[in-house]
Homo-oligomer: A and B are copies of this chain.
Amino acid sequence: MGRNSDARPKILAAGRDLLARRGYSALGVAEICAAAGVPKGSFYYFFDSKQALAEAVIEDHWVEQRAQWAALLGSDKAPLERLRDLYDATTEVQRRAQKDTGAVTGCLFGNLALELSARDDEIQRRLQEIFDEQITLVAEVVDQAQRDGTIDVPDAREAARSLVAQLEGSVLFAKLRNDPGELDQLWPHTAALLGAKA
């Protein structure tokens, strides 16, 4: 397969799928190449190592997810409806993963955070930044809801951090139980916790 072919996107897609399903440590470059249908030479032409691929997968996934989060949280709906859209979209992603692959794959960032944070400074730092960006996106909406008077929290950023932590923990439960339904009760309960009026 030529080096100007579609080998790179194939490797990225296979890497993302395998990282989500099997984690980082259990994965080898040979397995990624087999799933992508490319020879090892192509892999090492585009990526220095499995770590370099993992970093590229993280970037790729965050570009997509950030665009989705920004669109949902920046729509012209009322702030709490935007937040609800984010929860619904998160549930839908897990439901689709289960339908397509048989398994709730969870959150790629959370999975890698727990598996690698004590071992890989570069990935650790990047994941910190990504979660910070997620919290910032959510904090803007929480702040707007607070100014609208539809919720009542002591601090918008701390509330957003709590919400993202809760979402992350709930996705972990959905993955552990292989049941996207774990996420169904999250929004109504979270809205109540935020002190949402109705």
Contact = CB atoms under 8 A, between A and B. Distances in A.
Interface of A: 21-26, 103, 105-106, 110-111, 113-115, 117-119, 124, 127-128, 131, 153-155, 158-159, 161-162, 164-170, 172-173, 175-178, 185-186, 188-190, 192-195
B131 A118 contact: no
B22 A119 contact: yes
Given A162-B190, A169-B168, A172-B169, A114 B110 contact: yes
B188 A21 contact: no
Contacts of A172: 110, 113-114, 165, 168-169, 172
Contacts of A23: 23, 25, 114-115
How many copies are assembled?
A: 2
A128 B190 contact: no
B128 A177 contact: yes
A186 B22 CA distance: 31
B158 A189 contact: yes
- Nearest first, the 5 closest Cβ-Cβ pairs linking A and B are A165-B169, A169-B169, A25-B25, A168-B169, A25-B26
Contact of A175 (B111, B114, B162): B114
Contacts of A119: 22, 26
